Chain A
Amino acid sequence: DIQMTQSPSSLSASVGDRVTITCRASQSIRSYLNWYRQKPGKAPQLLIYAASGLQSGVPSRFSGRGSGTDFTLTISSLQPEDFATYYCQQSYTIPPTFGGGTKVDIK
């Protein structure tokens, strides 16, 4: 299985901050990388697909970059609803695998 490693595992930030989360794959996954946001008690919500595609209805403050093994998710100006846990997921091969998550909380 392809291992997905996120960093940091948690961070503290304030409303309006720029936040960047990193995801690394154990082998090349080309651009088959997706990002999700999960609020407490809710299902994950797709934010970014294929490394940089903004999912319909997702605010433009979210952006993704990368290819191969290294990827980033950036939130340009953190909003109150963005305090949540973020997951990356590779869809290059079966089984699809998720990173361990990055919890973003209020500083």
Chain B
Amino acid sequence: QVQLQESGPGLVKPSETLSLTCTVSGVSISSTTFYWGWIRQTPGKGLEWIGTIYYTGSTYYNPSLTSRVTVSIDMSKNQFSLKVTSVTAADTAVYYCARQYFYGSGSPREMDYWGQGTLVTVSS
């Protein structure tokens, strides 16, 4: 069955770079039917979409984060990754990776499979 699993450091220092990887199993990340995205959740801001990538390398980013975010894909490992630079305490959140349906045109649609989430704390 389809599974997504986030991995990466749980603690990052302010001004440094947050790096997470999502390992996908049960489906090829090179499928034309899906985008692969990152979402984070905080008690204060709720659920916030960060960015998403297609197997071609095409990306969409949240305009509020685009200057600090990079999403990349590694089809050889069936993984995709997130980097957020110059982090502050406001980037402390539970980070999720998720699969998004793509129906061939328009934006990526519903998020049907999610990882379990990983808490990243920004603190010195």
Contact = CB atoms under 8 A, between A and B. Distances in A.
A43 B98 CA distance: 10
A12 interface: no
Contacts of B80: none
A34 B62 contact: no
Secondary structure class of chain B's binding surface, majority of residues: strand
B122 to A, nearest CB: 21
Interface in B105-120: 107-112, 114-117
Interface string B86-114: 00000000001010110000011111101
B108 A91 contact: yes
Interface of B: 46-49, 60, 62-64, 96, 98, 100-101, 107-112, 114-117
Interface of A: 1, 32, 34, 36, 42-46, 49-50, 55, 87, 89, 91-98, 100-101
